[in-house]
Structure 1
Amino acid sequence: MPVTLDPDAAAVYKAFQEAGRPPYENGTPAEARELYLKGRVVSNPEPPELAEVKPLSIPAPHGAIPARIYTPKNLRRADGAAPCLVFYHGGGWVIGDLDSHDVVCRKLAHEGKLIVISVDYRLAPEHKFPAAVDDAISAAKWVAANAKTLGIDNKRLMVGGDSAGGNLAAVVALAARDGDGPAIAGQVLIYPATDFAMAHPSHREPETSILLTHSVIKWFCNHYLSGAADIHDWRASPARANTLVGLPPAYVLTVGADPLRDEGDEYAARLRQAGVPVTYKHFPGQFHGFFTMGKLLNQANVAASEIGVWLKALN
């Protein structure tokens, strides 16, 4: 499928090329993490002013999971409780943290008029699959169990994330449907990774490999998974779940220049076929990762606003 970048996306991509930023797969995970954080500084938009941002510590079997809770000034409450989005950051399960997606979480809290709780799940290769999944599920369970203390309405508890975080959100929704987790009212899947087989056409098309390339995805995969058998586990590849029936309403976002484009599109279609209400938005002229770049790419701000509208309509 031909991809033509929007002018601003093309300009950003050109700037990245001219800067000579080394590919993640040429360095160590620690070097990739540092590089990723530096990129966020120059591309994040100005954050909206919130009522409160506080650290959280979520108990888990292996030890505490760091988290951060965002409360907007325009919070919608009913009987003293507010809707909540549990957010999982992107970064290929190898890079990214609370700081890399801090502005994104602030924007989603403001646009959705809800509480956002960002989860700093364990990263690979120090912690292989399914450590990130275990943390993601544990965090959702803890938020629901402590909803009253947090001022959250656990009937309006949603999950979301971008890329690897979209994968984790989809997996948490599946686990919760099957009894391993709280009831989930909605899922926000921003260019999610859904199938580690990496066999969809968009993985092979050169036009899709802009910032996230097929080779980078393989590098992430090799760090995250322990072997080929993990590919077929629905906790790694949610598209391989036996059925998608009974999942909560979904907002699925994909972009044109993205090796993950086709699997995200297919997952949205399969959700619809399973009877799940789906809002699907495609940004054909943007590349994977654009959502965090609102300072440089206005379409990222448009996407955040549209997700906010969807979240408000949902609850």
Structure 2
Amino acid sequence: MDFHERMDPEHRAALAAVEGLFPADYPTMDVVDRRATSVAILDAILPAKAESETVTWQDHHAGEGDETVLVRVYRPRTADDPRPALYLIHGGGMWAGTIDFEHPTALRLAETLGCIVACVEYRLAPEHPFPAPVDDCVNGFSWLTTNTDTLGIDPNRVVIFGASAGGGLALGTTLRVRDSGGILPSFVLAIAPMIDDRTATPSNGEFDELGALLWDGSKNREGWSWYLSGGSADQYAAPARATDLAGFPPVFIDVGELDPFRDEDIAFALRLLQAGVATELHVYPGLAHGVEGMAPESALSKLIESTRLEALRRALKVLG
């Protein structure tokens, strides 16, 4: 059975519809043109950035001098302070993505969970290779946790949430905060996190050259080459390289059966468990990397979303 036959049928149909929007030469474009093409297509298919009746948002510049980073803070209008907070790190292979694309997700999470959501606009490779993206994520998170009184946040209920590259950055940020003696998040939710630059697992080789849109082994190698820019990776760039995972807060990881990150994510979850870290792991049959977002009304996507939301409700201690 080939890759597409193994996919969830509803996801397969949704992928086919979206793939047709990308030009045939998309995989061979340079990073700037590829990023611009992605932005134009996603702008066309994502919901408009409309006002919300229940959530407001405001941009903040965290840090000082040349070390500032943009953090967009979403606040439910009706919730009472102090409230829990979700620090959201977007995906994009370390070279693409923006907080504007996370706007629908941030609104939905703030509305559904009644929490503050803070999205960080970290710098992107290859123009800004490692450690710039991790530095930005750490600076934004440190700003959030040191300004909980001003922002009306309960300091004991601050969660880091990220998908793909954002999941890797969520785990790398947590490692950096732990090792520097900073304020740790109370929980980390990492969706199919990008965590191993060595790209040597069987799943990285199994799911290779999958076309223009799907994240596959070849795109993973390309993303890491841009992110590291000839430098070497440490545990903050590639959390799979960490030798000591003790002291981590509880972690939730999910990944698809057909995801090139499958094996590294399963191995990392196992090592967290062996280090005494409370860890929840889900591996979804028929799921390719990120395709649940293309078919939100499918049965599989609804199961994935409800499982993530339930984990966040428990971590944030909010009622369903």
| 152-161 or 178-187: bigger deviation | 178-187
Displacement after TM superposition at 1:298 (Å): 5.6
Distance 1:11 1:201, change over 3 A: same
1:64 paired with 2:65, answer no
Equivalent residue, structure 1, for 2:54: 50
Is residue 108 of structure 1 aligned with residue 109 of structure 2? yes
Aligned twin of 1:279 = 280
| Aligned twin of 1:216 | 219
Cα–Cα, structure 1 residues 83 and 223, in superposed 2: closer, same or farther, change >3 Å? same
What is the Cα deviation at residue 20 of structure 1? 5.0
Contact 2:246 2:276 in 1 (8 A): yes
Query: 1:275 offset after TM fit, Å?
Result: 1.2
Q: Does 1:305 align with 2:306?
A: yes
Aligned to 1:32: 34
1:176 is displaced (CA, Å) by 1.9
Tell me how large the CA RMSD over aligned residues is.
2.6
Which region of structure 1 is more displaced relative to structure 2, 28-37 or 6-15?
28-37
Distance 2:33 2:128 in 1: 17
Q: Is the 8 A contact 2:207 2:259 kept in 1?
A: no
1:111-162 per-position Cα deviation (integer Å, ceiling 9, x unaligned) = 3331110000011111111000000111110001111111111121111101
The equivalences for 1:178-193 within 5 A come to 178-193=179-194
After superposition, where does 1:250-261 map in structure 2 within 5 Å? 250-261=251-262
Distance 1:289 1:37, change over 3 A: farther
For the residues of structure 1 that align with 2:53 and 2:276, how far apart are their CA atoms?
38
Aligned pair count?
310
Residue 153 (structure 1) aligned with residue 157 (structure 2): no
Deviations 1:185-232 (A, max 9, x none): 0001010011110011001114794600211112212211122x523x
2:188 aligned counterpart, secondary structure: strand
- Distance (Å, rounded) in 2 between the aligned partners of 1:25 and 1:274: 40
Shift of 1:290: 2.6
* Letter paired with 1:37: V
User: Cα–Cα, structure 1 residues 290 and 42, in superposed 2: closer, same or farther, change >3 Å?
Assistant: farther
- Structure 2 contact 75–117 (Cα < 8 Å) conserved: yes
Give the superposition deviation at 1:39.
Answer: 4.0
Match of 2:16 in 1: 14
Q: In structure 1, how many angstroms separate the alpha carbons of the residues matched to 2:239 and 2:298?
A: 30
What is the deviation of 1:294? 5.0
Indicate the larger mover: 102-111 or 4-13.
102-111
- Asked if the contact 2:258–2:286 (Cα under 8 Å) also holds between the matched residues in 1, the reply is yes
Deviation of 1:247 after TM superposition, in Å, equals 0.4
Q: Unaligned regions of 5+ residues in structure 2, if any?
A: none
Higher relative contact order (CA 8 A, sep 6+): 1
Q: Secondary structure in 2 aligned to 1:90? A: coil
Change (3 A) 1:156 1:206: closer
Aligned equivalents of 2:131 and 2:183: distance in 1?
19
Task: Measure the CA separation in 2 of the matches of 1:32 and 1:157.
Answer: 34
Q: Distance in 2 between matches of 1:310 and 1:279?
A: 9
Shift of 1:12: 2.1
Q: Within 1, Cα distance between the matches of 2:120 and 2:113?
A: 18
Report the 3-state secondary structure (helix = DSSP H, G, I; strand = E; otherwise coil) of the residue aligned with 2:273: helix
Q: Distance in 2 between matches of 1:42 and 1:304?
A: 23
**Range with greater deviation from structure 2 (116-125 or 40-49):** 40-49
User: How many Å separate the matches in 1 of 2:168 and 2:161?
Assistant: 9
Is residue 199 of structure 1 aligned with residue 200 of structure 2?
yes
2:235 is matched with which residue? Answer: 234
Check conservation: 1:88, 1:119, Cα contact below 8 A: yes
Q: Do the aligned partners of 1:24 and 1:216 also contact (CA within 8 Å) in 2?
A: no
The 8 Å contact of residues 209 and 259 in structure 1, kept in 2 or not, is answered as: no
Return closer, same or farther for 1:303/1:164 CA change in 2, 3 Å cut-off. same
Unaligned runs of 5+ in 1: none
Determine helix, strand or coil for the equivalent of 2:15. Answer: helix
Q: 1:106 to 1:51 in 2, by over 3 A?
A: closer
Cα offset, 1:299, TM superposition? 3.8
3-state SS, counterpart of residue 84 of structure 2:
strand
Kindly state the Cα deviation for residue 172 of structure 1 after the two structures are TM-superposed.
Answer: 1.2
Cα distance change of structure 1 residues 208 and 200 upon mapping to structure 2, 3 Å threshold? farther
User: Aligned in 2, Cα 1:127/1:313: closer, same or farther, shift over 3 Å?
Assistant: same
